[in-house]
Amino acid sequence: MDETFGPEYVRPQQSDCSRCGCCTAALCEKGRNSLLRCQGHVDDGHRETVYGCPCSAETTKHTASWRMAQVRVTRTARELPLVAEAEALLRALAAGGTAEDPEGAFPQLKLRGLGQIVHGLPAITPLGHTYLAAKEDVRAATAVRVVDVDRKARTVRVEVAAWRPDEPVTVLMDQITTDSGLDVDSLPGRWLTVDANCHAPDADRLVLTGFRASAPLPAGWMGVDGGEAQ
């Protein structure tokens, strides 16, 4: 009898991620560059398995969710800060030692990712330190130039004029397009204005918020011909 069906297709086996043990390498690469994280790129049957994967978590530096968390917490600190009791508790936790919580403010810190329980005791998280830094840092408008766009990773490298203009920093592509309303195709080489903590000691502490189209730049300024910023 002649075979009426073609050869059976078998999907190639994907290699496991060497960092987490819960995902494939391909899934973690996608999750690392996505605000949906790994759990947002699997079906319902696998969501619980990959939930909380460290490769895409907001607690892991340089993931998309980490970058967005820095922006979110910085904006919260400046625009919608904690109530006084919760902020006082956060500062006490940052100082170390035992922190009293007579007002029961810790659940608010935990809900916002600023506090956690460590060995049965309240403690501050890295995002909690980001919040306090945002409250204390001087933030001001500065010019930035888009160096290039990585569409696959959905990131953009920019040079920050008032920080270290020769050291590009990475930001989320979607953050820039959402803030500014600009099309991604128009970004390479373009000058923008952004709010930044330009005294940050390194790129991981530098947080850029409020991307917007730049006002016209003076002729000759850092190689600009003058007129409208491009």
- Is residue 15 scored above 60 in pLDDT? yes
Does residue 150 sit in the same domain as residue 213? yes
- Note the pTM of the prediction, 2 decimals: 0.86
For residue 228, being part of any structural domain is answered with no
Name the least confident of 12-21, 132-141, 166-175: 12-21
Does residue 121 sit in the same domain as residue 173? no
The pLDDT, as a whole number, for residue 99 is: 78
CA angle 108, 171, 110 (to 5 degrees): 10
Does residue 22 sit in the same domain as residue 73? no
Q: Confidence class of residue 21 from pLDDT cuts 50, 70 and 90?
A: confident
Instruction: Please tell me the total count of domains within the chain.
Output: 3
CB within 8 Å of 153: residues ≥ 6 apart: 33
Task: Check the CA dihedral 83-86-89-90 and report its sign.
Answer: negative
Quick one: residue 37, left, alpha or beta (phi over 0 = left, psi -120 to 50 = alpha)? Answer: left
* Angle between the N-to-C axes of helices 64-79 and 173-180, in degrees from 0 to 180, rounded to the nearest 10: 40
Does residue 161 sit in the same domain as residue 200? yes
Does residue 186 sit in the same domain as residue 152? yes
Does residue 32 sit in the same domain as residue 88? no
Nearest to 114 by CA among 99, 141, 132, 96: 132
Task: Check the CA dihedral 159-62-74-119 and report its sign.
Answer: negative
The pLDDT, as a whole number, for residue 2 is: 55
For residue 185, being part of any structural domain is answered with yes
Does residue 21 sit in the same domain as residue 39? yes
Q: Confidence class of residue 195 from pLDDT cuts 50, 70 and 90?
A: very high
Query: Which one of 136, 163, 192 terminates a domain?
Result: 136
Does residue 124 sit in the same domain as residue 148? no
For residue 26, being part of any structural domain is answered with yes
CA angle 168, 74, 53 (to 5 degrees): 80
Does residue 35 sit in the same domain as residue 73? no
For residue 176, being part of any structural domain is answered with yes
- Is residue 165 scored above 50 in pLDDT? yes
DSSP label of 203: T
pLDDT (tens digit per residue) in 47-68: 999 999 999 999 999 999 999 9
First and final C-alpha spacing in the chain: 69
Query: Which one of 116, 136, 156 terminates a domain?
Result: 136
d(CA 71, CA 78): 11
For residue 2, being part of any structural domain is answered with no
Does residue 70 sit in the same domain as residue 116? yes
Domain that holds residue 87: 66-136
